[in-house]
């Protein structure tokens, strides 16, 4: 892959200050969708670069119909930034990291890790879950940027958000599974949270908190639903003692060498933006 074009680099790193209204919406709902963050040409470039790496790194050999619910939900490739400079330029985007910083009202953010989530044609639904179940982080100041690499109509399976559900503590012991789907579907309905599911335009990006419950429908189109995500944490986030085996695995994989009770400052968790 050739070097990132200067026009794309400029788009990835241009200043973007969130508005007070956007911060208020994010605080109230635990998520926000923001249109026109990138021009279509930038998304097209990201699609080419990231798709090439997903194709190269994907080792899923089990036919779709033979996988479990999690396996049918998406192809998942993590920390693509470590493989090519072109993907690193995307993941290290100052623009997206600045938005994450502004929404959380922190002094800056670190990368936790990135992941490509490609939902195959006829791929299954993604059950209700909260990402932070997996993270050994002693903070709720976390956010995931969810970046579709194409227009994402409802039949592709875009994210569905349970607005404000990051304030709900029930279900925080559930990993993504059929069990989490059944339990959380009932719990979210009982608490009457407003569910928001809408198409994504090209260049539209969502940001959701780590404890926000969300899901995605199946991809009933004939095309791959391609999404790139970056997970950010407050730059001063401290590692906590893992509360389940998944958090231990995340510690070992995404922040190796970090120490419980100290800031997660490892080569895999660089600061990507600091507020001036």
Contacts of 57 (CB under 8 A, 6+ apart): 77, 80, 83
Where do the H-state alpha helices sit in 105-244?
A: 178-190
Kindly calculate the radius of gyration of the chain based on its CA atoms and give it in whole angstroms: 18
CA 209 to chain CA centroid, nearest Å: 9
d(CA 41, CA 28): 33
Across the chain, mean pLDDT equals: 97
Please state, in angstroms and rounded to a whole number, the distance separating the CA atoms of residues 234 and 108: 6
Residue 273 lies in a domain: no
Question: Cβ atoms within 10 A of the Cβ of 246, count?
Answer: 15
Which pLDDT belongs to residue 203?
98
Strand runs (DSSP E) across the chain, as ranges? 31-34, 75-78, 108-119, 126-129, 142-148, 159-162, 195-197, 205-209, 214-216, 225-234, 271-274
The band of 111, judged by pLDDT with boundaries at 50, 70 and 90, is: very high
Q: Is residue 264 part of a domain?
A: no
**According to the model, what pLDDT value does residue 276 have?**
79
| Boundaries of domain holding 216 | 6-254
What is the phi/psi pair of residue 190, to 5°?
-60, -35
pLDDT in tens, 155-164: 999 999 999 9
Instruction: Look at strands 271-274 and 159-162 and give their pairing.
Output: unpaired
Quickly state the pLDDT bin for 1 (edges 50, 70, 90).
low
pLDDT at 61: 87
- Specify the CATH number for the domain of residue 239: 2.60.120.620
Residue pLDDT, tens place only, 118-172? 999 999 999 999 999 999 999 999 999 999 999 999 999 999 999 999 999 999 9
> 164 lies in a domain?
yes
- Tell me, yes or no, if the pTM score tops 0.95: yes
What's the Cα-to-Cα distance from 63 to each of 66, 118, 216, rounded to whole Å? Answer: 5, 15, 21
Q: Is residue 13 part of a domain?
A: yes
Average pLDDT over residues 233-249: 98
Residue 263 lies in a domain: no
Domain total for the chain? 1
pLDDT at 2: 75
- Residue 147 is assigned to a structural domain of this protein: yes
Dist CA 79 CA 101 (whole Å)? 20
Q: Centre a 10 Å sphere on the Cβ of residue 241 and count the other Cβ atoms it contains.
A: 11
Under 8 Å CB-to-CB from 242, ≥6 apart: which residues? 136, 248, 250, 251
User: Phi-psi region for residue 261, left (φ > 0), alpha (ψ -120 to 50) or beta?
Assistant: left
Q: Domain for residue 146, yes or no?
A: yes
Is residue 239 in a domain?
yes
């Amino acid at each position: 892959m050739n070097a990132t074009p200067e026009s794309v680099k400029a788009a990835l790193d241009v200043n973007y200050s969130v508005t007070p209204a956007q911060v208020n919406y994010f605080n109230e709902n635990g998520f926000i969708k923001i249109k026109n963050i990138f021009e279509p040409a930038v998304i097209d470039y990201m699609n080419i670069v990231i798709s090439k790496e997903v194709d190269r790194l994907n080792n899923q050999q089990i036919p779709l119909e033979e996988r479990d619910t999690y396996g049918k939900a998406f192809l998942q490739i993590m920390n693509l930034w470590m493989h090519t400079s072109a993907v690193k330029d995307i993941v290290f985007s100052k623009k997206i990291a600045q938005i994450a910083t502004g929404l959380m009202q922190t002094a800056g953010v670190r990368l936790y890790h990135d992941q490509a989530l490609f939902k195959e044609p006829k791929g299954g639904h993604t059950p209700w879950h909260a990402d932070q179940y997996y993270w050994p982080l002693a903070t709720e100041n976390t956010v995931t940027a969810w970046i579709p690499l194409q227009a994402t109509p409802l039949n592709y399976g875009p994210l569905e958000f349970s607005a404000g559900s990051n304030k709900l503590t029930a279900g925080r012991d559930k990993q993504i599974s059929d069990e989490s789907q059944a339990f959380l579907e009932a719990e979210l309905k009982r608490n009457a949270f407003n569910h928001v599911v809408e198409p994504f335009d090209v260049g539209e990006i969502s940001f959701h908190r780590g404890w926000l419950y969300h899901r995605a429908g199946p991809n009933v189109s004939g095309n791959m639903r391609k999404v790139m995500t970056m997970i950010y944490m407050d730059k001063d986030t401290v590692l906590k003692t893992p509360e389940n085996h998944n958090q231990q695995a995340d510690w070992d994989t995404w922040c190796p060498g970090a120490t419980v009770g100290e800031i997660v400052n490892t080569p895999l968790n660089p600061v990507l933006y600091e507020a001036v």
